[in-house]
Amino acid sequence: MRRLRPRLAVVSTVVRVVAVVPTYCEVDNLEQLVKELRVAVPNIGILIVDDNSPDGTAALARKLAAEHGSIDLLARPSKQGLGSAYRAGFRQAIEAGADVCVQIDADLSHDAADLPALLANIEHGADLAIGSRYVPGGATERWPWHRRWLSRWGNRYAAGVLGLAVNDATAGYRAYRVGALQAMEYDTVSAEGYGFQIEMPYRLVRRGGRVVEVPIHFVDRVRGTSKMSGRSVAEALGLVTWWAARDRLFGWRRRA
Ligand SMILES: Nc1nc2c(ncn2[C@@H]2O[C@H](COP(=O)(O)OP(=O)(O)OP(=O)(O)O)[C@@H](O)[C@H]2O)c(=O)[nH]1
Ligand SMILES: [Mg+2]
């Protein structure tokens, strides 16, 4: 059955939106992503943050930049993790004048057609709009049961112990207002994998930021391999438990 989903137009053309796309071995996915982003939001800037992928992703990024324009490549010497890639990407995008930074995976799990809905929420006052699998209308497709279970219960655990009213805090599809990123001092977030995804809304909400979740259908990657690791899950579990304990046991008053 065809899903009914609002396709909202981006209201303003003066808001500078930059999609920060971290890549590690995404040579089979990147071109399609770039094309779909430009169909969804024609004037979007794209910043590809590549960690010296051995499959030639950076060379493809350079070719796409020459063909399509308004595409930048931040080429880093080695694989340094997702959180670090986003911090470096946000920094560069903000220095270049972005008003809104988008997070999107390169593996086509996130549908670029959902982006106007995320951006419309930012334009209407949200500091962070999350493409969420776990609100009514959201879904996960082609994921094995154990990934689904881990993601669903990991999110329930984080929301429960942190008192964070976000259903999908590990989601990788987001739009941030740049002022909110700066106010929450995003560049001092130290987590790398899922911990990074959770720490960002956790900090933002503690500092009075407004989060909105927009339903999306997440589809497991068809090409390339997942970089999800047990280490990233363990890091997130440890950090969330530590933040919750710190908040409760020690009556932590300092801003997260
Ligand atoms: N620059 C950079 N990009 C990364 C790194 N690790 C992952 N990525 C990219 O980050 C995005 C998300 O990584 P995925 O491997 O899809 O991880 P995931 O989405 O959590 O896991 P799956 O659902 O199994 O795909 C993809 O675009 C990756 O290419 C990294 O260390 N550096
Ligand atoms: Mg993925």
Residue 10: predicted pLDDT: 52
Residue of 25, 46, 82, 150 to test ligand 1 pocket, by largest number of atoms within 8 Å of CB: 82
DSSP state of 148: H
pLDDT band at 231 (very low <50, low <70, confident <90, very high): confident
pLDDT reading at 229 higher than 90 = no
Residue of 227, 232, 235 to test ligand 1 pocket, by largest number of atoms within 8 Å of CB: 227
Answer yes or no: is the C-beta of 227 below 6 A from any ligand 1 atom: yes
pLDDT band at 256 (very low <50, low <70, confident <90, very high): low
> The tokens 């493409």 sit on which residue?
131
How far is residue 2 from each of residues 41, 143, 146, 181, measured CA to CA in Å?
Answer: 22, 20, 27, 36
How far does residue 243's CA lie from ligand 2's centre (Å)? 26
Hey, what are 189's tokens?
Answer: 């977030």
Please state, in angstroms and rounded to a whole number, the distance separating the CA atoms of residues 25 and 75.
Answer: 13
pLDDT band at 4 (very low <50, low <70, confident <90, very high): very low
Calculate the dihedral angle through the C-alpha atoms of 209, 159, 139, 149, rounding to the nearest 10 degrees: 150
Please give the average per-residue pLDDT across 59-77, as a whole number. Answer: 98
Q: Are 44 and 18 in contact (CB under 8 A)?
A: yes
pTM assigned to the model: 0.93
pLDDT band at 14 (very low <50, low <70, confident <90, very high): confident
Determine how many CB atoms are found less than 10 A away from the CB of residue 111: 17
How far does residue 109's CA lie from ligand 2's centre (Å)? 6
How far does residue 33's CA lie from ligand 2's centre (Å)? 13
Query: What is the average pLDDT score of the chain?
Result: 92
Per residue in 175-213, pLDDT (tens digit) is 999 999 999 999 999 899 999 999 999 999 999 999 999
The protein residue whose alpha carbon is closest to atom 25 in ligand 1 is 226
H helices present in the chain, as ranges: 30-40, 57-68, 82-95, 115-123, 145-162, 178-183, 194-206, 230-249
